[in-house]
Structure 1
Amino acid sequence: MSIGVLLITKNEQQYLRRCLLSVCDWCDEIVVVDSGSEDETCRIAREFTDKVYEHPQWPGFGKQRQLAQSYMTSDWVFVIDADEWVTPELRDAILTELAEPNNSNVYQVNRRTKAFGKYIDHSGWSPDWVARLYPRSLTQYSDALVHESVVIPKGCQLKKIRKGRLLHDTYQDLHHYIRKTTGYLKSWTDEREGKRKSGLCTALVHALACFFKMYIINRGFLDGRHGFIVAWLSMHSTFVKYIDLWLRENYGNKE
């Protein structure tokens, strides 16, 4: 069975080469859809594949992944982000699993994430089972603007690939965190505006619950100072997105 890599990018020159080097020697196809990079992202991608497509108009994460899949011809789709890379153990486990494939399976891999220079092994971030491998003819990503996910068809089996890890370098520093999350927060509010109510109490409750869950219930304190920082920043982001929704509902587009 042929395996294709699906990748969407924008300004990822810092990470992209490491990502593509981890898949280029065992995958049959690499498809990259770029949404208007202003750096060397597309040039680096073309070192690994001729299937690089530039679509500056951003439709949201889900539809952008759907677009990338429409360019693919491989039997199986493996989805990866530019700031992720595949360990040799995960590569071998995927190839072993697909040696005798089941075309009704969607596979999850275990992702390990680094933030601010340290792997976060608690705080609800690990284990982090994400669906990333599936038959191209079976399914695709949802339409969600952000926090998109693979649609699991009725009767489909969700199976975990337990060997190996997908490594993820999510935030380099605080400025990188702010740049990255700003777009996510806006997309979250765009998707829910007019469909969901919010308020100051709602924002406070969700924010405090987020911190308590990450730092206490999911034992973020075991990640040391990084665990506290991640939980605090997540609390702040949660508060911001619910307040943004409330402000739009009550004060948006008014004279």
Structure 2
Amino acid sequence: MNPTPDPEKRLALCMIVKNEAELLGPCLESIRELADEMIVIDTGSQDATVALAEQYGARVFPHQWQNDFSLARNLSLEQASSDWILFLDADERIDPASLPLLKEILNDPDAAEGYRLQFINYIGDGSAPIQSPLLRLFQNRGYRFTGKIHEQIETTIAAHGPIRDAPVIVHHFGYLPKIQAEKNKGNRNITLLQTELQAAPHDSYLRFQLGRSLGIAGRHAEAVREFEQIWDHYEKTDPKAWPAYAVHAIYLMSKSYRLLGRFEPAAQWSQWALRHWSTAELFFQHGVNQQSLHRYAEAIGAFTGCLRAKKDERFVFQTQVGMESFLTMLQLGKIYEFCGDAETARAWYAEAFQHSPDHPDSVYRLVRLTPDPESLGSFLRSITSPNALEAFCFGCAEIGYPATPALLDRLEKKGVTRSTRNARLRYLGRHGDRNEWTRLLQNDPDEYARFIECLVLLNEQDMPAFRKKAQGLQKYRAQAEAVQAVLDNRPGRPQAGLVLPLCIDFSLQYVFDSILLSFSPEHQDEALLEAQKAWKQGYDFARSPGNCGVACDLRTARALDRQDPLQARFWLEKAEEHGHTITRCLHRLRWERLAGDAEKYKIVLENALKEFPESLLLQKTAGAQ
């Protein structure tokens, strides 16, 4: 007689909602296939949230909100009769491909007591999504949450059985600017945490969550103060015994210092952390910090360490998706490209592309550094995603690839986008028919095109025409006014970050020079900070122009790439006035090679190795001789 198979385990979805009619449907749809119960605690919705939840078969329980998340979560737990509990918020969705795996976990006889699911948090500013493992799935054995804000249950569950990571993907959209603005969750959480800390001022975990929330809100100076208090609390204890959140606090403190433009303390904290915990996240953080300080050899060492480091299950960090692979490879490529080693840069970009063919940045950079434009056709055949295809076209426009207009025609047949229009403008403005470029600008309904016209007029120093054209701007008025402030030699430094990346992007030498001249040495830190803010909007190396020496490095590299010895020498000498760096040694070596002076090349290399004996790039250069 065959034994009766065990019945399948049941799953209860538990939620807290308020005015979530716009987001709730996709969330419930993503899990309805597996959820045997849907329990929704409504804290006072005024829209169609309740009716929508009931349409999906959810049981809705009204609850008067009392600024206590644990109270509301536990109310939902009390209503659940299933074997497993899954908690989701309305702005989260289970990935359809993860449903079979989730079902396996529910019915696994050797299942853990709880599981951390992999949350993909979308930021919406062009940055890679942030990945974080969160405990949201656990067996229904009477566990309850504690804490009014950032409620906790993990410690209680872990006392009764293991908690494991599961590769179940949950997409989280709550950090998108539109949702953040509508819900005002950040300010709400900060207020609740501050209230909690008044009652429990020595609770370091609450302080960590407050610092983290302040960082998310962009209030980094306040975040640093909270993280420093956690350091004060644990300073005299063995770092190996620190709780995971305290390690995470050091990681976030280093990040906040960097975002404040205080790169030296940022690097000091990440370096201190790496002495005790060799995690990929800390290596990556240290690499970015060293890159911000233009210490490229140290940055290369840190990024290489990130690729080699193994994941440490003791720590739960929020990290950008791809940090342990293609994002780090892209950073390595950018450093080598900046230092003039196009071949090594291209190799790293190719590695990044292999790991993430859909990521547009690796595609764009590979195209720009392609030594043989005729090979672009075969490269194009390996690209499948629309975003990567647009990046391919931008790269082609940059280098003047003759087939660019045809490629853009092909894209526009699938639906005209802002990216394809901008790529066409870039191609025509640099390599094509100037009259056609002007016609497109005049006929483009988007204000962005008129703003480009303003920048061109600035570069031609036609100030009356610029002022007339700028008067009609709305969306880009702030940028135009910032340009005007700099050119009029008025206090324009806080706005300069809006202008610097545009100057780089459109090669506006007149405006660019004016901005550089407006920064005296004592204001360079401020300039770097403002330019960094602009860089976060998606422009490469916008931090650098605030430092005149680094700006000269950029121009030297461009002149060397064009094999223009006169311009290269001019900008190299200007750069060397700001001190000797590894980058400038490499540029000097490239210039001597371009000038054909083998003896001088040898002397420069020997001196550079004496000055920077630990430089990996210089060692590689010497080994190639």
Taking structure 1 as the reference length, the TM-score comes to 0.74
Quote the residue 1:87 is aligned against.
95
Match runs of 1:235-254 below 5 Å: none
Quote the residue 1:205 is aligned against.
224
Tell me how large the CA RMSD over aligned residues is: 3.2
How many angstroms apart in 2 are the aligned matches of 1:106 and 1:69? 15
Quote the residue 2:161 is aligned against.
156
TM-fit CA distance, 1:185: 0.8
> Does 2:150 align with 1:147?
yes
TM-fit CA distance, 1:140: 2.9
Match runs of 1:68-87 below 5 Å: 68-87=76-95
How many angstroms apart in 1 are the aligned matches of 2:107 and 2:534? 40
How many angstroms apart in 2 are the aligned matches of 1:226 and 1:70? 49
Q: Structure 1 98/228 Cα, relative in aligned 2: closer, same or farther at 3 Å?
A: same
Quote the residue 1:182 is aligned against.
187
| Conservation of the 8 A alpha-carbon contact between 2:105 and 2:111 | no
| Structure with more strand by fraction | 1
Quote the residue 1:253 is aligned against.
none
Q: Structure 1 157/43 Cα, relative in aligned 2: closer, same or farther at 3 Å?
A: same
Taking structure 2 as the reference length, the TM-score comes to 0.32
* Secondary structure class of the residue paired with 2:122: strand
Query: Structure 1: which 5+ residue stretches go unaligned?
Result: 230-255
> Does 2:155 align with 1:113?
no
Match runs of 1:187-198 below 5 Å: 187-196=192-201
| Conservation of the 8 A alpha-carbon contact between 1:17 and 1:44 | yes
How many angstroms apart in 2 are the aligned matches of 1:89 and 1:32? 25
How many angstroms apart in 2 are the aligned matches of 1:203 and 1:110? 29
* Per-residue Cα deviation, 1:53-109 (whole angstroms, up to 9, x for no partner): 111233411221111111111111011111000012221111012222446511111
Q: 128-137 or 112-121, which moves further after superposition?
A: 112-121
Query: Structure 2: which 5+ residue stretches go unaligned?
Result: 1-8, 208-220, 228-249, 260-265, 267-281, 289-319, 328-360, 362-531, 538-625
| Conservation of the 8 A alpha-carbon contact between 2:117 and 2:134 | yes
Quote the residue 1:132 is aligned against.
136
TM-fit CA distance, 1:18: 0.4
| Conservation of the 8 A alpha-carbon contact between 2:43 and 2:63 | yes
How many angstroms apart in 2 are the aligned matches of 1:16 and 1:7? 10
Pick the aligned partner of 1:47 from 49, 55, 58: 55
Quote the residue 2:177 is aligned against.
173
Match runs of 1:30-41 below 5 Å: 30-41=38-49
Amino acid at match of 1:114: Y
Pick the aligned partner of 1:5 from 10, 13, 19: 13
Quote the residue 2:298 is aligned against.
none
Quote the residue 1:98 is aligned against.
106
TM-fit CA distance, 1:149: 2.7
How many angstroms apart in 2 are the aligned matches of 1:227 and 1:175? 23
Q: Structure 1 24/228 Cα, relative in aligned 2: closer, same or farther at 3 Å?
A: same
Q: Structure 1 117/228 Cα, relative in aligned 2: closer, same or farther at 3 Å?
A: closer
TM-fit CA distance, 1:227: 9.3
| Conservation of the 8 A alpha-carbon contact between 1:131 and 1:149 | no
| Structure with more helix by fraction | 2
How many angstroms apart in 2 are the aligned matches of 1:174 and 1:54? 27
Quote the residue 2:25 is aligned against.
17
| Conservation of the 8 A alpha-carbon contact between 2:44 and 2:62 | yes
Greater relative CO (CA pairs within 8 A, separation 6+): 1
| Conservation of the 8 A alpha-carbon contact between 1:140 and 1:151 | no
Larger radius of gyration: 2
How many angstroms apart in 1 are the aligned matches of 2:108 and 2:124? 40
